């Protein structure tokens, strides 16, 4: 595949090559980079850019899948008086099993910066932040270098490309909490406060960072914007295999032969990703299930392998596509330990603001730990089911962290209940006993 064909079919990863360093500004421009910026700034109005993004049917790639253009349209475009409008890129990427944004950050930082400039121009923002996970040291260094070069070239700062449009961009290193993936908790953290989610309304699009209109999008979402502006909405719609548009960064981790991350048309079947890209299960291991979109999604099992990986199809199957990064459960890994590890993580990462999350998640994690240690009681599964019903119901907690944490537990009890029961009946983890016998 030549460079032009790859740019048309794999826009997000067209510059991603394992054997070389990320492009600097000159190399990025030589490959067509900042073409979207030159297409839009000073030549298209913000309203025209917004309509292109709306028509593209780009949905947020951070997990929720909310239509990007619709989200941007909630920002008041009339004169709001003195003060800034803000664009924030969520590069925290704390979802268990998710590593797609790191690939984009480390391999093509200018792509993100171009997308952020265009998004900021569209919503009328004059200040932009990259809220990045503190552990992403290489990505942060590359971003800071790329931003510095963009200021030197006139792509950032005052009067960008002679258009009269001004934009400043900053990198903020996150203290590192999963709750910062919730956009209002991220905003609180960026303001220097405790990372607690905020009640909505008001929504950030109207009153966000320091009380001003704010848009928060994740890395993959913003990386799509330059290509949509440059090539048009219809091109982006044509990339998808189902009703959803564009390509998607899909990842697989677990006992597979070729774990990794790939850009594929959205709607690619699970089996094609798992067996074609990831090479299938390692020798000696059999497939039992997977979490399709990171740790806070429901299990899918063998009967679901031919489903399209898109938002609607996975939703109808009882799970969520989430980040599109699969965590595979094999037949030699204990489902109870698998779920306990996730629930313990979510319990530790809770902000502690509301009682069901603060108390219910540690209680659930402790019950699962007791099961795994062979100390489970007859009523423990009923207690866990009660937690699923209460904590997992949206509206019973302040934000969506606790309902998401309950998804692997709820679906684990649904598909692997026999394994949970065997821990109680046998007073031990059968998987640990099998490994010890081997």
User: What is the CA 184 to chain-centroid distance, rounded?
Assistant: 16
Which one, of 259, 410, 258, lies nearest residue 320 by Cα?
A: 410
> Exposed, middle or buried, 216 (CB in 10 Å: 0-12/13-18/19+)?
buried
pLDDT digits (tens, 9 = 90+) for 107-126: 999 999 999 999 999 999 99
Within the chain, all domains assigned CATH 3.40.50.11540 are found at 3-239
- Name residue 67's beta-bridge partners: 59
Mean pLDDT of the chain: 93
Structure confidence at residue 170 (pLDDT): 98
What was the pLDDT predicted at 402?
A: 92
Q: Is 405:296 a contact under the CB 8 Å cutoff?
A: yes
What pLDDT, on the 0 to 100 scale, is given for residue 227? 97
Topology at the third CATH level for domain 3-239? Rossmann fold (3.40.50)
Pairing of strands 86-91, 260-265: unpaired
How would you classify the pairing of strands 325-330 and 287-291?
antiparallel
Q: What is the pLDDT of residue 5?
A: 67
The DSSP result for 302-343, as a single string, is GGGTTSB-SHHHHHHTTS--TTSEEEEEETTS-HHHHHHHHH
* pLDDT of amino acid 7: 77
Identify the pLDDT of residue 436: 59
Q: How far apart are CA 256 and CA 215, in angstroms?
A: 37
Q: Which two tokens stand for residue 367?
A: 């019950």
Q: What is the C-alpha to C-alpha distance for residues 205 and 216, in angstroms, rounded to an integer?
A: 9
pLDDT score recorded for residue 77:
83
SS3 label, residue 148: helix
> CATH class for domain 247-330?
alpha beta
d(CA 280, CA 288): 12
The ranges of the chain annotated as CATH 1.20.1440.230 are 335-437
Q: In CATH terms, is domain 335-437 a member of 1.20.1440.230?
A: yes
Cβ(171)–Cβ(151) under 8 Å? no
Q: What is the mean pLDDT of each run of 10 residues along the chain (438 residues)?
A: 73 86 91 94 94 96 91 83 88 93 95 98 97 94 97 96 95 88 93 91 94 96 97 96 96 97 97 97 97 96 97 96 96 96 94 91 96 93 95 90 94 96 92 68
pLDDT of residue 42: 84
Structure confidence at residue 181 (pLDDT): 87
Tokens of 65: 């899948």
**pLDDT tens column, 318-336:** 999 999 999 999 999 999 9
Alpha carbon distance 416, 409 (integer Å): 10
Domain with CATH 3.10.20.600 in the chain: 247-330
> Nearest to residue 229, comparing CAs of 317, 325, 117?
117
pLDDT tens track for 284-315: 999 999 999 999 999 999 999 999 999 999 99
**pTM exceeds 0.75:** yes
């Amino acid at each position: 595949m030549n460079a032009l064909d790859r740019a048309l079919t794999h826009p997000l990863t067209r510059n991603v090559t394992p054997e070389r360093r990320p492009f600097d500004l000159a190399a990025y421009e030589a490959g067509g980079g900042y073409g979207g910026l030159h297409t839009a700034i000073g030549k298209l109005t913000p309203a025209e850019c917004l309509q292109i993004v709306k028509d593209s049917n780009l949905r947020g790639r951070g997990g929720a899948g909310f239509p990007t253009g619709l989200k941007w349209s909630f920002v008041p475009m009339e004169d709001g008086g003195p003060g800034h409008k803000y664009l924030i890129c969520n590069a925290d990427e704390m979802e268990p099993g998710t590593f797609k944004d790191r690939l984009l950050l480390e391999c093509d930082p200018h792509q993100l910066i171009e997308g952020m400039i265009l998004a900021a121009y569209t919503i009328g923002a004059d200040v932009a932040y990259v809220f990045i996970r503190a552990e992403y040291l290489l990505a942060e260094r590359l971003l800071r270098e790329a931003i510095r070069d963009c200021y030197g070239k006139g792509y950032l700062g005052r009067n960008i490309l002679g258009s009269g449009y001004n934009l400043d961009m900053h990198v903020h290193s996150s203290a590192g909490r999963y709750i910062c993936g919730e956009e209002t908790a991220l905003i609180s953290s960026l303001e220097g406060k405790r990372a607690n989610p905020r009640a909505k309304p008001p929504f950030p699009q109207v009153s966000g960072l320091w009380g001003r209109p704010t848009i928060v999008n994740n890395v993959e979402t913003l990386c799509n914007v330059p290509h949509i502006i440059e090539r048009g909405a219809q091109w982006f719609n044509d990339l998808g295999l189902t009703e959803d548009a564009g390509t998607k960064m899909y990842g697989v981790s677990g006992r597979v032969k070729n774990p990794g991350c790939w850009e594929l048309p959205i709607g690619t079947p699970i089996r094609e990703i798992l067996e074609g890209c990831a090479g299938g299960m390692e020798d000696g291991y059999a497939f039992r299930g997977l979490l399709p979109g990171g740790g806070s999604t429901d299990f899918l099992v063998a009967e679901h392998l031919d489903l399209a990986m898109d938002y609607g199809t996975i939703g109808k199957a009882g799970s969520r596509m989430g980040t599109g990064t699969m965590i595979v459960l094999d037949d030699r890994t204990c489902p109870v330990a698998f779920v306990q590890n996730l629930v313990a993580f979510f319990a530790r990462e809770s902000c502690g603001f509301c009682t069901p999350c603060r108390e219910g998640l540690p209680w659930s994690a402790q019950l699962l730990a007791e099961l795994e240690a062979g100390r489970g009681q007859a009523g423990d599964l009923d207690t866990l089911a009660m937690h699923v019903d209460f904590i997992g119901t949206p509206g019973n907690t302040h934000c969506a962290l606790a309902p998401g944490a309950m998804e692997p537990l709820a679906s684990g009890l649904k598909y692997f209940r026999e394994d949970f029961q065997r821990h109680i009946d046998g007073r031990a983890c059968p998987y640990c006993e099998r490994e010890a016998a081997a």
